[in-house]
Structure 1
Amino acid sequence: MAPHSAQPRSSFIDRDARTSELFDELAAATCEEEKDRVIEQVVLLYLDLCTTMAGRYDGRGIEHEDLVQVARLALVKAVRRYEPGHAPSFAAYAVPTISGELKRWFRDRGWVVRPPRRLQELRADLQAVRSALEQELGTTPTDADLAEAVGTSIDQVREAFAAATGFRPLSLDCSPADDERPGLAAFLACPDDDLEAADDRVCLTQVLSELDDEERELLLMRYVDGMTQREIGEARGVSQMQVSRRLRRITTRLHDQLDAQVGETLDGGLTDEGPEAAEAAARLSPAS
């Protein structure tokens, strides 16, 4: 056992010594090309450190290669910022620098569905506390134990754990094990009348905007408030026949404008909006 444990320590000592030499060369370098050459040599010495630290974050929703790349970029930053004598060794300085960059990457870019910052911070606190509680209690801590340890509510603990699925949420297009069954979206879908009528509202917006205030008020009273023509006539001080004629003229004009809109859409080859506009025009036909 002794030879195996002594070899890595010897390697670390040799690497630290070589690192010190390279930083001396870096301090003495007089041109950018020479500095870049020395920095590259330092980086090559610690690539294995990047791989090891990136591996600690595997299985959390981000590809291992991406984590290694982040760690290596952090290593380059550490080399450029390190000042010999301000830390026991370069490795002691580089490790927290790389760890900080990896954590920042998870915080800022690792989420597919990004939760609020408070949940991200709470999740990090819970992960740190959970291991300590497992050792202390000798069992898996409950949500109540975790909530008490970090000084928050049980609901917030559960919300933080639920937010963790935002790293790699389940796709609505994914299929279950049985290929003959529909995807997940089929089990979540539900009728939405407001959504189905969205195209109609878009088609009507332009033509309704061309009406004057009196015409819009008349349509509002008849089709939104549900007033009868007699009630509208009494409210406006006119006869029911006058209301009927006025409504007929308005709806005829709207119907013609929507028909023209459908024709322009079809002539332009944009057929996606045609059926919805046609249905809206039909509902505003004079017969209605």
Structure 2
Amino acid sequence: MSGQRRTATRSEHALEDLDGAALSYAARFAEQSEGRRRDHLRDELVQLALPFAGRLARRYRGRGEPLEDLEQVARLGLVKAVDRYDPERGSFTAYAAVTITGEIKRHFRDRTWGVHVPRRLQDLTIEVSQATAVLTSELSRSPTVAELAARLETSEEDILAALESAAGYTPASLNGPVGDDGPAELGDMFGALDADLESVDDRLTVSGLLYRLPARERRILAMRFYGNYTQSDIAAEFGISQMHVSRLLSRTLTWLRQAMLTDTPPRWESTGAPPEPPDAVTVSVDRADGRVQVGIRGELDRSAAERVRCALVDVVCAAGTDEVLVDLDGVGFIDAAGIAALLASHEAARRAAVRLRIADPQPYVRRSLIVAGLAPLFT
């Protein structure tokens, strides 16, 4: 017992004389040259002040961090205080207390949050928590966001952001159990299969097939399913009967279903004046004002690509002008073979020192040409 009593007395005496020990350390440290002697003096002062750092660390226990971690952080702050100590600037214990406390607070700010939150919101979260406790005591109820904003002299948006950020300090684990019964975890309650993913292929297929339809049928489908027009509104727009619109919609949807189920889409059969078949591509050449304009109408696919390529190359070679304009306003569909025909025509024009330009492509054709790198040819 007497040994324990002597030890406690010696420890208390060391704490009381910490400032004197620091002054002595600073004087002896200045006398020593660089080397092990300085390190030994530094270690002695740190060892002497360890109980002081531990006492500061214990002030913050019970706040969600293990005491061992807090003591390690406090000791790190103590080492920094010893290394930066200047006896001319005042008491060592005062300086060490500020340094160690700041290190502990920095640890809580930077290391204990479950998710990254800006420092401004971290500080505001603490202020909101303190203001909430004070206002709850004064009002005998939970304060509103407006009352917190008035108390802290900030905006309600900042208060809401701080309240939301507070949940990031200790976020719930996705592996945490849900309820007392069963092995279900919190992560099992989030997420589900995205049903829209299964329809991606169908959407891409339909978007390509739509451009194989006549312009009238495409517009009717757009008005009905994208513009939410009624059949009567569509009939008034086109000057036909509502029954005729119903038949057109039914026949168009039937053709789309059949086309999606086959590798080769069936030919569109129209009532009344039949449109040109898909492979009936026409190429017209118009020379005016020293410029050659080539108009293409129809679907520029594999069956028509070679004929269009030959026609464009012939026009380019015999142009006799500096520019050839290819009008694609009448082309509703283009595939890889059609794009290759335009690329070959562009190469032939480059060799002939003729500038080939593309005008008025429809949206689907325009997107395909942009992907193929032909956007610089657009007028």
- What band does the TM-score fall into relative to the shorter chain? 0.5 to 0.7
Paired AA for residue 99 in structure 2: T
Number of the residue aligned with 2:189: 187
Distance in 1 (alpha carbons) for counterparts of 2:116 and 2:110: 8
**1:119 counterpart (99, 118, 121):** 121
1:64 has 2:102 as partner:
no
SS in 1 for 2:37: helix
So what's the TM-score if we normalise by structure 2?
A: 0.47
| Shift in Å, 1:176 | 3.4
Which structure is larger by alpha-carbon Rg, 1 or 2? 2
Q: Which amino acid aligns with 2:173?
A: S
Q: Offset of 1:9 from its aligned partner? A: 7.9
RMSD across aligned positions (CA): 4.1
TM-score normalized with structure 1 length: 0.60
Distance in 2 between the 1:226 and 1:50 partners?
76
Amino acid at match of 2:124: L
Q: Which residue of 2 aligns with 1:142?
A: 143
Following TM superposition, by how much is the alpha carbon of 1:191 offset from its aligned partner in structure 2, in angstroms? 3.6
- 1:92 deviates by 0.2
User: How many corresponding residue pairs?
Assistant: 221
Deviation at 1:174, TM superposition (A): 1.3
Q: Which has the higher contact order (CA 8 A, sep 6+)?
A: 1
Residue in 2 that maps onto 1:239:
277
Distance 1:158 1:56, change over 3 A: farther
CA distance in 1, matches of 2:216, 2:135: 77
Cα offset, 1:99, TM superposition:
1.8
Alignment of 1:204-243 (within 5 A): 223-224=206-207, 227=210, 229-231=212-214, 239-240=277-278
1:79 counterpart (65, 73, 82): 82
Partner residue of 1:34?
A: 37
- How far apart are residue 149 of structure 1 and its match? 2.4
Structure 2 distance, partners of 1:59, 1:154, is 31
8 A Cα contact 1:119 1:159, kept in partner = yes
Equivalent positions of 1:99-110 (< 5 A) are 99-110=101-112
- CA displacement, residues 123-181 of structure 1 (integer Å, 9 cap, x when unaligned): 243356567x4699496772444322221234533431332332321111111352514
Structure-2 residue corresponding to 1:283: none
Which of 3, 8, 19 aligns to 2:22? It is 19
Q: Is 1:54 aligned to residue 37 of structure 2?
A: no
Q: Which residue of 2 aligns with 1:216?
A: none
Partner residue of 1:164 out of 163, 166, 180: 166
Output the amino acid matched with 1:224: S
Within 2, Cα distance between the matches of 1:18 and 1:139? 52
Corresponding residue SS for 2:89: coil
| Distance across 1 between alignment mates of 2:53 and 2:206 | 68
Q: Is the 8 A contact 1:233 1:239 kept in 2?
A: no
2 CA distance for matches of 1:92 and 1:115? 31
Structure 1 or 2: more strand by fraction:
2
1:35 to partner: Cα distance: 1.3
C-alpha separation in 1, matches of 2:30 and 2:142: 51
> Shift of residue 65 of structure 1?
2.5
Quick one: distance in 2 between partners of 1:86 and 1:172? Answer: 51
Residues 25 and 241 of structure 1, relative CA distance in 2, 3 Å threshold: same
- Residues in 1 aligned to 2:30 and 2:87: alpha-carbon distance in whole angstroms: 10
Checking the alignment, whether the CA contact within 8 Å between 2:149 and 2:156 is kept in structure 1 is yes
Mapped contact 1:61–1:167 kept (Cα < 8 A): no
Give the secondary-structure state (helix, strand or coil) at the position aligned to 1:115: coil
Shift, 1:39, TM fit = 1.2
Stretches of structure 1 lacking an aligned partner (at least 5 in a row): 1-6, 202-218, 252-288
Distance in structure 2 (CA, Å) of the matches to 1:22 and 1:140 = 55
Quick one: distance in 1 between partners of 2:16 and 2:76?
Answer: 24
- The 1-side partners of 2:20 and 2:141 are apart by 44
Residue 55 of structure 1 aligns with an amino acid whose one-letter code is R
Determine the C-alpha separation between the residues in 2 that align with 1:225 and 1:245: 12
Tell me, what secondary structure is at the counterpart of 1:69?
A: helix
- Offset of residue 83 of structure 1: 0.4
Equivalent residues of 1:75, 1:97 under 8 A apart = yes
Greater fraction helix: 1
